Chain A
Amino acid sequence: MSLLRVRGLKKYFGGSGWPRRKAPLKAVDGVDLDLAAGHTLALVGESGCGKSTLARAILRLHEPTGGEVWLDGTPVTGIGRAALRARRREMQIIFQDPYASLNPRRSVGQTLDEPLSVHRWGNRATRQARVNELLEVVGLRPAMANRYPHEFSGGQRQRIGIARALALSPKLIVADEAVSALDVSVQAQILNLLNDIRERFGVGYLFISHDLAVVRHLADRVAVMYLGRIVEEADTADLFRQPRHPYTEALLSAVPVPDPTRHAGRIVLPGDLPSPSAPPSGCPFHPRCPKAVARCSTEVPALRTMDDGARVACHLV
Chain B
Amino acid sequence: MSADRPHSLWSRAAQRFVRDRAGMVSAVVVLGYFLVALTVWLGLGGQDWGVLGSDSFAPVSAEHWFGTTRNGQDIFARTVYSTRTAFEIGLVVAVSSVVLGAVFGALSGFFAGSWLDEGILWLKGVLDAIPFFLFVVAVAYSLQGHPLAMHVAMIATFWTTTGRYVRGEVIKLKSMEFVEAARAVGVPQGAIIFRHILPNTSHILLVQGTLVFVTAIKAEVILSFLGLGVQDGVSWGLMISQSTNEVTAGFFNNFIAASLAMFVLVMAFNFFSDALQDALDPRKVSA
Contacts and interface: CB of A to CB of B under 8 A. Distances in A.
B7 A118 contact: no
A92 B185 CA distance: 7
Contacts, number: 86
A148 interface: yes
B6 A147 contact: yes
B201 to A, nearest CB: 10
Given A105-B200, A107-B6, A150-B286, A164 B181 contact: yes
B177 interface: yes
B267 interface: no
Contacts of A95: 177, 180-181
Nearest to A109: B6
Contacts of B186: 85-86, 88-89, 115, 118-119
A147 B9 contact: no
Contact of B7 (A106, A147, A161): A147
Interface string B195-212: 010011010000000000
Interface stretch (A96-104, A183-191, A211-219, A299-307): A96-104
Given A119-B186, A147-B1, A101 B9 contact: no
Nearest to B10: A105
A114 B185 contact: yes
B182 interface: yes
A93 B181 contact: yes
A151 B7 contact: yes
B249 interface: no
Interface in B63-120: none
Nearest to A95: B177
Given A118-B187, A146-B6, A151 B178 contact: no
Secondary structure type dominating chain B contacts: helix
Given A61-B184, A88-B185, A115-B186, A146 B177 contact: no
A33 B12 CA distance: 48
Nearest to B287: A150
Interface string B1-33: 100111111000000000000000000000000
Contacts of A115: 185-186
Contacts of A97: 177
A101 B7 contact: no
B285 A150 contact: yes
Nearest to A116: B185
A95 to B, nearest CB: 4
A38 B177 CA distance: 26
Q: Which of A105, A107, A147, A161 has the most CB of B within 10 A?
A: A105
Interface string B122-159: 00000000000000000000000000000000000000
B1 to A, nearest CB: 5
Contact of A100 (B8, B9, B177, B199): B177
A148 B200 CA distance: 14
B176 interface: yes
A171 to B, nearest CB: 14
Interface string A127-160: 0000000000000010110111011000000000
A4 interface: no
B6 A148 contact: yes
B43 interface: no
B4 A146 contact: yes
Contacts of B4: 141, 143-144, 146-147
A150 B177 CA distance: 15
Contacts of A164: 181, 185
Interface in B182-236: 182-188, 196, 199-200, 202
A103 B7 contact: no
A18 to B, nearest CB: 14
Contacts of B285: 104, 150
Contacts of A96: 177
27 contacts: A56-B180, A61-B180, A61-B183, A85-B186, A86-B186, A95-B177, A95-B180, A97-B177, A103-B178, A103-B182, A103-B200, A104-B178, A104-B286, A105-B200, A105-B202, A106-B196, A114-B185, A114-B187, A118-B186, A118-B187, A119-B186, A144-B4, A146-B4, A148-B9, A150-B9, A150-B286, A161-B181
Q: Which 7 A-B pairs have the closest CB atoms?
A: A88-B186, A101-B177, A85-B186, A115-B185, A95-B177, A143-B4, A146-B6
